[in-house]
Chains A and B, each alone.
Chain A
Amino acid sequence: MWQYQKKLQYPINIRKKDLRMAKYLVTQYGGANGELGAALRYLNQRYTMPDDKGKALLTDIGTEELGHIEMISTMIYQLTKDATIEELEAAGLGTNYAEHRKSLYPTDSNGVPFAVSYFATTGDPLADLYEDMAAEQKARAVYENLIDMTKDPDVIGPLLWLRQREIVHFNRFKELYEYYKSIL
């Protein structure tokens, strides 16, 4: 089971409304390479890992990704909370308001809703870990794209930090992959 900790993994304080950035950033919530997909992919794959190392690593990284969903959600919330309907419409978020008001909703940057196909699980531990390594690299690349698209230091700080987590996770998955490759 999980127990909530009433704090963010890394502090977020975005002071400036930016609907354009919120629209792009949402993909790291509900896009193919986003944190929701990562968390659920790892937590779903862990049951069929061949030994306890894999079960531990996928549980612990999957759990951290739940914390990253909270960070991205906090960023989107803070970027949009003071917006008027007119401002949302001007930023291309009118359709989002019509469906969800100001509630968060997991989509990619194009508004395509989150899909379970992002889980990409085969049950083969080597294939699954390679998928996870690719997922971390893709998420790292998207974080870099997002960093390139803003000048707000309140947004860049957490994005740089989340990007670095993708690099650490990639390497931990790679170590586990190489270990399994040597024994399976």
Chain B
Amino acid sequence: MNNNFNYYNMANRNFLRDELYSNENNFDLNGNMNNTNSLNSVLYGPYEGFIKGNLFKNLYQQYKNYQPAIITPRNEQEQTLFNLDQIQFAMHELNLYLDNYPNNQEVLNQFTTLRNSYNKLLTDYENKYDAINVNSMSLNSVPFGWVEQTWPWNRGNM
């Protein structure tokens, strides 16, 4: 897997990195993942999880011989948005898991770590490039960026 770790450095955070996840699979379907480091063995890292569309190793089902598409950002803006997509996706996956297992402290801790990274990446992206949310602090001058900046179906690539 051709992982890209640049954004961890960019965000200057001691974040869980894809390579730290082992290949063991001891996932407990009752939602018990409370032994130390067990999350590392049941979850893909944000990059691999995102391109696969599935953060949970035990749930991933490959179709025939198809491999996930390798996404290649063409510039720094696309790379930053790609980083944001990965963290947001990992958060969303844990969100769905926590809906079923709301008392899992370890997953909540991981969710919190991801959220801290997400909030920083989002603010950086919106200040430097386009607003993702209409309540972004970056929308502070005319022409109103929400209207002017490219809409997602016309963005091309990202």
Q: A-side interface residues toward B, CB under 8 Å?
A: 3-13, 53, 56-57, 60-61, 64, 70, 73-74, 77-78, 144, 147, 153, 156-158, 160-165, 167-169, 171-172, 175-176, 179
CA distance A163 to B146 in the complex (A): 31
Known: A11-B158, A73-B153. A164 touches B53 (CB 8 A): yes
B: contact size bracket: 35 or more
CB distance from A12 to the nearest CB of B (A): 8
CA distance A119 to B68 in the complex (A): 31
**Residues on the A chain within 8 Å of B15, using CB:** none
Known: A3-B133, A147-B63, A168-B59. A77 touches B53 (CB 8 A): no
Q: Is the CB of B96 within 8 A of A8?
A: no
**Residues on the B chain within 8 Å of A158, using CB:** 69
A-B pairs, 7 with minimum CB distance = A157-B69, A164-B53, A161-B53, A74-B153, A56-B99, A57-B99, A13-B157
Q: Is the CB of A11 within 8 A of B54?
A: no
- Residue in A closest to B50 when the chains form the complex, CB atoms: A10
Dominant secondary structure of chain B at its interface with chain A: loop
| Number of residue pairs A-B, CB distance < 8 angstroms | 114
Q: B-side interface residues toward A, CB under 8 Å?
A: 29, 31, 50-54, 56, 59-61, 63, 66, 68-69, 71, 81-82, 84-85, 89, 92-93, 95-97, 99-100, 102, 130-135, 146, 149, 151-153, 155-158
Other 7 A-B pairs with CB < 8 A, given A61-B96, A161-B53: A9-B89, A60-B96, A153-B69, A156-B69, A169-B96, A172-B100, A175-B100
Q: Which of A3, A70, A73, A162 contacts B53 (CB 8 A)?
A: A162
**Residues on the B chain within 8 Å of A153, using CB:** 69
CB distance from A24 to the nearest CB of B (A): 17
Q: Is the CB of A7 within 8 A of B152?
A: yes
Q: Is the CB of A57 within 8 A of B152?
A: no
**Residues on the B chain within 8 Å of A147, using CB:** 63, 66
Q: Is the CB of B96 within 8 A of A57?
A: yes
CB distance from B28 to the nearest CB of A (A): 12
Q: Is the CB of A164 within 8 A of B60?
A: yes
Q: Which of B61, B130, B152 contacts A8 (CB 8 A)?
A: B152
**Residues on the A chain within 8 Å of B66, using CB:** 147, 156, 160
